[in-house]
Amino acid sequence: MIDRPHPRSAKLFTIDADGRMRHLPRTELAMLFSPGDVVIANDAATLPASLRGRHVASGQPIEVRLAAWVSVRDPTRFVAIAFGAGDHRTRTEHRPPPPLLSPGDHLSLGPLDAAVEHLLDHPRLLALRFIGSREAVLTGLARHGRPIQYAHVREPLALWNVWTRIAADPIAFEPPSAGFALDWRTLAAWRQRGIGFATLAHAAGLSSTGAVALDQRLPFDEPYRLPERTAAAIKRAKLERGRIVAIGTTVVRALESAANADGSVRAGDGVASGRIAHGASLRVVDAILSGVHQPGESHYELLRSFADDAALDRIAAALAEHGYRAHEFGDSVLIERQPRVPRQ
């Protein structure tokens, strides 16, 4: 169990394209990068995606975690993951399964009434429809929903804790946590130093379900919206040999999903599907700022497109030696794409 450290006390590990490593206070982020570089962040706000209640037919307790949109921004229909008794203080992999669910079953979730539309191909995975207007459902979610909690965080998390400083459109199911490294002071410093800043909105999904078979399928398909202005900033930077810095794995997924062969990106709505991993070539992104991730997580797999396993092992050893904190509210790692990782 950890207490969330104050963001201003966080650490930053960097490794540049030449393999040079540095340990910095994260406030130094404001002094990194060069004029002409563009930083791209995910400004999605996070939904209170964890809902507790009971399975009406059996009277058994249930927790539902909204995990993906059926139709983005329609708050009445979701893909969801169900848990039985217990709460977030039990690690998700040890949580009992939900009561036996059948299509048409109702779940009473605080003020919300939800129906199981159909079961997907795993006992925890279902399509859920809330009964009522979009507005009424959004009100119910806002009042009864809680952010998805973490077994390793002692205090209960409120939306105050999981919206990044730049959070705008509430479409993510878990926070785009690399963005906790950003504050308005840093953005102002970048502006003064001629470093570009632009955003996209990517509906970050669940990072872990507690079921190995499900976790191997993560991330689910995630819709994103990439503004024209952001596409234009990337195009300009590419022309002027500026670097594209992605704040977090969701930004990498969205940008690479929107990539054209020449390294430009298509503006508009899209869906990022599948994993980016070892051997995948990056067409847009030159560097990634992320949290400290462990081998096997989908986030870690994505880092393998920035650095080969030998380099990632060196990074992991340096992080362990210096006591970097590996969780959503922990320290940060900036990895510039290593030249040995091929690029198209």
Partner 1 sequence: MQTGTDLEKLRVAVTGATSGLGLALVRLLAARAARIAFVARTVSAVERTARETGAHGIVGDVARKDDIYPIALQITGNLGGLDVLINSASSLGPTPLALLADTECEELERAVAVNLLGAFRLTKALFGALAASARDGRGALVINISSDAAINAYPGWGAYGASKAALRHLTAVWAEEAKADGLRFLSMDPGDMDTPLHALAVPDADPSTLKRPEDSAADIIETMLAALPSHPARLVGAHA
Q: Which residues bind partner 1 (CB under 8 A)?
A: 43, 45, 47-48, 73, 75, 135, 138-139, 141-143, 158-160, 163-170, 184, 187-188, 191, 198-199, 227, 229
Q: How far is the CB of 155 from partner 1 (least distance, A)?
A: 14
Q: How far is the CB of 222 from partner 1 (least distance, A)?
A: 18
Q: How far is the CB of 110 from partner 1 (least distance, A)?
A: 12
Q: Which is nearer to partner 1, 137 or 302 (CB)?
A: 137
Report the relative pairing of strands 77-83 and 125-130 from DSSP bridges. Answer: antiparallel
- Whether residue 99 is preceded by a cis peptide bond, meaning omega within 30 degrees of 0, is no
Q: Which is nearer to partner 1, 141 or 302 (CB)?
A: 141
Under 8 Å between Cβ of 209 and 82: no
Q: How far is the CB of 167 from partner 1 (least distance, A)?
A: 4
Report the relative pairing of strands 61-69 and 112-119 from DSSP bridges. Answer: unpaired
Residue 110 sits at the vertex; the CA angle it makes with 109 and 114, to the nearest 5 degrees, is: 30
Burial of 150 (0-12, 13-18, 19+ CB in 10 A): buried
Q: How far, in Å, CA of 300 to CA of 290, rounded? A: 10
DSSP code per residue over 66-113: EEEESSTT-TTEEEEEEE-SS-TTS-GGGSPPPPP--TT-EEEETTEE
> Smallest Cα–Cα separation from 131: which of 115, 119, 107?
115
Amino acid at 216: Q
Q: How far is the CB of 179 from partner 1 (least distance, A)?
A: 10
Q: Which is nearer to partner 1, 188 or 213 (CB)?
A: 188
Q: Which is nearer to partner 1, 141 or 265 (CB)?
A: 141
Q: Which is nearer to partner 1, 3 or 135 (CB)?
A: 135
Under 8 Å between Cβ of 201 and 43: yes
Q: Which is nearer to partner 1, 187 or 341 (CB)?
A: 187
Report the relative pairing of strands 38-42 and 21-25 from DSSP bridges. Answer: unpaired
Tokens of 297: 């997580």
Q: Which is nearer to partner 1, 22 or 73 (CB)?
A: 73
Q: Which is nearer to partner 1, 200 or 284 (CB)?
A: 200
Q: How far is the CB of 129 from partner 1 (least distance, A)?
A: 17
Max Cα distance, the chain (Å): 63
Q: How far is the CB of 43 from partner 1 (least distance, A)?
A: 6
Find tokens 């169990």 and name the residue. 1
Q: How far is the CB of 48 from partner 1 (least distance, A)?
A: 7
Q: How far, in Å, CA of 151 to CA of 268, rounded? A: 36
Tokens of 120: 């997907």
